[in-house]
Amino acid sequence: MLSRLGALLQQAVETREPSVDLLEAFTEHWKGITGYYLEATDESVPARQTDIPWRLKQMLDILVYEEKQRPAGEAGPCLEYLLQHKVLETLGTLGKAEYPPGMRQQVLLFFSRVLGQMQHPLLHYLNVHRPVQKLLQLSGDRLGSGTEKEEVQFAAVLCTKIKQDPSLLAYILEGKSILNGRRAQELPASPVEEGAEHPPGTAAAASSPPAEVSPPRRDSNLVTSLVGLCKSQKSRVALKAQENLLSLVGLAQEAAAACLVRSSALCQLLTEHLCDLYSAVPPGTDPSDVLVLERASWRSQGDAAGDGVFPGKESLAAFFAWLDYLDELVMGAHPVVADAITEAMEEKFFQGILQPQLLEMSEFAVLGVTAMLTGTVRQLRAPPLLHRLVLFLLGPDRHPETPGDAPHPLRTHLIDRCNHLSDEISLASLRLFEELLRKPHEHVVRNLALRNLETRGYLQRGPPIPDERGPSELDPDEDGLDLEEDPYFTDGFPDAGFRMTKKRLPGLTPSAKGQVSEVVSSFLCLVPEDAKTSSCMEEGGYDTYVHDALGMVQACRANAAPWGWPLAPRPLDTCHPEVTFYEGHFLKVLFDRMTRILDQVIGDLMQRLQRVPHFRAKLLLVRQQLMGMVPGEQMDHTMLFKGVVVLEEFCKELAAIALVKGPPEGPP
């Protein structure tokens, strides 16, 4: 009986002792940390060589153990001591002073572990989120400081807590107090902060909040820290910062999204970094190098620039990787945040940087900015960003054009360059419009072509009945004229240029196919043999090109299905065929470009071809790229735009041939 009574008394003592011992141990470790500053004599000893890291670890373990022993949501004596004696405030001051050396790293680790391991909501308390704000002010603005790993870990813990409870974002960014809703920056200073400052090593510093050197800066917060860490040269640090920023902008609550836009410089910081990376691209970068880069990915930004194939590749890769990150950021962000980011990009990057450069007159500058713009169009996928870029380049107009109508000067300027005196500028501009037409954006197709065609009431009628063809025209050799022998066509007309191909073109009757073959063959006989690329390909010929183009158009038609276009044309009685038809500025420039293709001396063309190294191989590569033989993104059009696609692709191929035209006189 006595033994049982003794066991009960012993159990009762054991259940009461831990709470007393925990608080005593907690305060003892804290006094040991503050006592170091009273006893230490060598200020050069690193923090990791003192007992401070061990004591901070013991304090953390005590807080976690105490929480597990108490009901959920109830603060224990140790946690109350930490809050009432402003332990985190004092630690933040010690970390800012960086004494002993490496103390900031230890403070960041302690903050991260306390906030990450404890389940009790802490960030609502003024004595927690205020030192958190101050600690964030020290992070992200000093690249390569040696604490980036701890800084990004600290920011990641905060983002995790905010994701669990989005209302915390206001406390981190604005510093709202849980007591009265006022911002921490607006709260009256404590007597200690208003009076004399206490050195970190004094007893007053151990039990009182530290004196503030300067008030918290509202432009330095969690967002500032994350964006700064995104620029880190350490790829893992930058990647983790970018991932956490993605989770932050993706908060579903509109109040949190509005707070993120209103209370931080998120949009400005993101856009300014993009502009800085764009300006860092060397001015002498070859425009062709811009176009050969594969589509960048921000998750593997270090891989693209590692080999250093050409000068400026690292800068180009950094710019397009950050652009890809902003693109994904906009796609995953709340609409409020996405609209704010795209608006900032339009103002600072599109209008502030690209537009003045696009209006330059220097050929070198035009080629460079056109190549960068083409790469930018290729990179973007986020609908809000793509929409802003399309309106920036083409304008919002959707009504039919009239000759001389130029409501959007930049659009007019870019289209005119497709028929520029410089063939290089023309080809670069055609590539730009090709990328635009590849984008799944209905306004591109309508603005460039369909706005002028939709009132015409076109119908796809059944194939006509093949009529009997009359006698063929006389062969030119039979008209009695002696043709001058051309030294550049010593082999006569090539069989490949005049033979009837075995494939049947879709939508063409045999008689129509024969007429097309004659027209194309007549054109091909004027082009020197070395300037042709179709003979280099198996079963080469114009029908191969048309077949591939038709496949592209069919894919475009499928992708354009969500645009909600009418399934039937307008009634014919609503059309006005007597009105003079104007194809629009874009199509007119393409037609004008085609009319200039034959305006050159064929013999002179052959001589210039022989002076261009590897011209035939280069021309074949261009043709393969235009025909889609090189893997790439498919074009997103509709069959209504079929004729425009074929025309544009064909015009570009002929423009590539005309690149070697050069001036009629003088050295090539």
- Give one DSSP letter per residue of 357-373, joined into a string: HHT---HHHHHHHHHHH
CB atoms near residue 567 (< 10 Å)? 4
119 three-state secondary structure = coil
What is the tens place of the pLDDT at every residue in 260-286? 999 889 999 999 999 999 999 998 899
Cis geometry, peptide bond prior to residue 100 (ω within 30 degrees of 0)? yes
pLDDT at 300: 84
User: How many Å from the N-terminal Cα to the C-terminal Cα in the chain?
Assistant: 117
Quick one: DSSP state of residue 346?
A: I
- The confidence score (pLDDT) of residue 291 equals 87
Of 455, 392, 416, nearest in space to 585 by CA:
416
d(CA 342, CA 632): 26
Residue 418: what pLDDT?
A: 94
Assess contact for 600 and 523: CB atoms under 8 A. no
Burial letters 328-346, b for 16+ CB under 10 A, else e: bbbeebbebbbbbbbebbb
Query: Which amino acid is it at 193?
Result: E
Round the CA-based radius of gyration of the chain to a whole number and report it: 36
Q: Return d(Cα 506, Cα 514) in angstroms, integer.
A: 13
- Residue among 330, 422, 313 nearest 375 (CA): 313
pLDDT of residue 610: 59
Of the candidates 642, 640, 582, the residue with the CA atom closest to the CA atom of residue 459: 640
* Residue 469: burial class (beta carbons within 10 Å; 0-12, 13-18, 19+): exposed
How would you label 417-436 residue by residue, b for 16+ Cβ within 10 Å and e otherwise? bbbbeebebbbbbbbbbbbb
pLDDT in the model for residue 546: 77
638, HSE (Cβ side, Cα atoms, 13 Å) = 17
| 63-89 confidence digits (pLDDT tens) | 999 999 999 889 999 999 999 999 999
Q: Which of 508, 596, 505 is CA-nearest to residue 542?
A: 505
pLDDT at 534: 55
The Cα–Cα gap between 660 and 617 comes to 14
**548, 625 contact by CB (below 8 A):** no
Rounded to the nearest 5 percent, the helix, strand and coil shares of the chain are: 65, 0, 35
Q: In sequence order, which residues have a C-beta less than 8 Å from that of residue 421 and are 6 or more positions away?
A: none
CB distance 297 to 318 below 8 Å: no
Say if residues 451 and 398 touch (Cβ distance below 8 Å).
yes
Average pLDDT by consecutive 10-residue portion of the chain (668 residues)?
52 48 94 91 90 96 94 92 95 92 95 95 92 84 74 96 93 56 36 33 34 44 93 93 96 93 93 97 90 88 59 92 97 96 97 96 94 96 96 94 89 94 91 92 92 73 50 45 45 40 48 67 68 56 74 81 79 74 91 77 63 53 44 37 46 46 38
What is the number of residues in the chain?
Answer: 668
Give CA–CA dist 85/208, Å, rounded.
Answer: 6
Predicted local confidence at residue 463, as pLDDT = 54
Strand partners of residue 176: 183
So what's the pLDDT on residue 256? 93
103 within 8 A of 94, measured Cβ to Cβ: yes
| Cα three-residue angle 33-34-37, rounded to 5 degrees | 100
| Helix segments in 417-541, DSSP class H | 423-438, 442-448, 495-498, 510-524
Q: Distance between CA atoms of 285 and 506, rounded to whole angstroms?
A: 44
Report pLDDT for 533. 58
Q: Could you tell me the two tokens for 267?
A: 């949009």
pLDDT at 311: 85
Q: Residue 320: which residues within 8 A CB-CB, separation 6 or more?
A: 293, 295, 296, 375, 379
